[in-house]
Chain A
């Protein structure tokens, strides 16, 4: 079955880079996603990567995919206080539904 794992917590200083890691199990995943959730809010799609890509860059965000190890990472450059939130990775398998990890809480310290 599908399973997505993430570390629980990350603390980073403002201006530094953040790296959030995720592992997944379903080798038939088509897309892999990163969503951001702020307190009391829904899920904001940050970025995504197609499974035949290794890397995708979108402004301050860089997604790296190691399909052999089923490892996904999100790097946020020049982390700002507004980046404090919970970040979820998700895999989209052939059935199109998403399976989410438990979320990584990112705290940005001034």
Chain B
């Protein structure tokens, strides 16, 4: 069991640049979730996938954010024209199916300068 893997661990970028994060879920987990956590807060839901289908998006996910899971395995989260307010830890989680426990990766810490 290799767990949920996220890459990169840290990303520093300048305001206005685009960034992309990758998440590899636990093998054979068909649900994949993205969360965002700002300093001193609990994680907030962004979006989730059932296999390759994106089933729900939070209102936090502005049109600068896009997530994909093209083959139902790994997922990418892209942020276009980054803003300082995008600075946060981006967490990915996966679960085997509906109603199953979520397991989280170590996250990608984004700093927008």
Residues in A lying within 8 Å of B, measured CB to CB = 4, 30-31, 33, 35, 40-45, 48, 88, 90, 92, 95-103
What residues of chain A lie closer than 8 Å to B109, measured between beta carbons? 40
Evaluate contact between B107 and A97: CB separation under 8 angstroms. no
Given A30-B99, A102-B41, A103-B42, A42-B107 contact (CB < 8 Å)? yes
**Chain B binding surface SS class:** strand
Which partner residue on chain B sits nearest A101 by CB separation? B42
Cβ-defined partner of A95 (8 Å) among B56, B101, B105, B106: B56
* Residues in B lying within 8 Å of A, measured CB to CB: 6, 31, 33, 40-45, 48, 56, 91, 93, 95, 98-99, 101-107, 109
Chain A interface main SS type: strand
- Complex CA–CA separation, A31 to B44 (angstroms): 17
Whole-angstrom distance between the Cβ of A40 and the nearest chain B Cβ: 8
